[in-house]
Amino acid sequence: MAMLTLGILGSGSGSNMQAILDAIQSGKLHARIALVLSDNPDGYILERAKNHGIPAELIDCSPHKTKFAEEIQKETADKLKRAGVDLVCLAGFMRLVKNPLLDAFPARILNIHPSLLPAFPGIEAWKQAIAAGASETGVTVHVVDSGMDTGPMIVQKSVPIDPSDTPQSLHERIQIVEHQLYPEAITTYAQRLEL
């Protein structure tokens, strides 16, 4: 398999980006991260990337709190293209990706979500699972389409919920599974697409 060039979009701490990077460095994932973009100036993901010498930039979405405006999506797509990105990985990115970004990377944008989709889409899925009294939840990696946490699934893994779980303890266990699953899913998908 040729060397994959990844672009990562995130809004938070970037622990999934770190897991992808660790998988690359340990030889489990044959890829490089060409660019990390974040809409959150305070997200640790940008600093984390820079600490590893990875180009990292802010996508300025202000004044919008949640909207990912069309012209900003176009700019984002252009940056990713210029960096030579084959596959875009959303890793805790809190805005909905639509056109023109989707069209610029058809079936080439992946997302990781902390539940067994289609159960519990949207924010804080681990809290939703506890509130629903579910006995298990999990992690899904899927191809992004224009919906929220919809799109063809690549892989899922379940995580049992203990009656004593707090949202924090459950989220921590989910994240351990995420960090293992995302690099594996990227490899599986890249092989499927012969990237």
- Total residues contacting ligand GRF by CB under 6 A comes to 14
Instruction: Work out whether 92 is an interface residue with ligand GRF (CB under 6 A).
Output: yes
Closer to ligand GRF at the Cβ: 28 or 74?
28
- Is 113 annotated in the active site? yes
3-state secondary structure of 40: coil
Find the binder of ligand GRF among 6, 7, 9, 14 (CB under 6 A). 14
On the CB side of 161, CA atoms within 13 Å amount to 25
Rounded least distance, CB 82 to ligand GRF, Å = 24
Catalytic residue (choose from 113, 142, 171, 179): 113
User: Residue 55, by phi and psi: left (phi above 0), alpha (psi -120 to 50) or beta?
Assistant: beta
Closer to ligand GRF at the Cβ: 165 or 178?
178
Q: Say which residues have a Cβ less than 8 Å from residue 173's Cβ, sequence separation at least 6.
A: 159
Instruction: Work out whether 12 is an interface residue with ligand GRF (CB under 6 A).
Output: yes
3-state secondary structure of 99: coil
Residue labelled with tokens 């600490």: 51
Taking CA 153 as the corner, what is the angle to CA 19 and CA 161, rounded to the nearest 5 degrees? 65
Closest-CB residue for ligand GRF? 92
Instruction: Work out whether 113 is an interface residue with ligand GRF (CB under 6 A).
Output: yes
Closer to ligand GRF at the Cβ: 15 or 73?
15
Residues with catalytic annotation?
A: 113
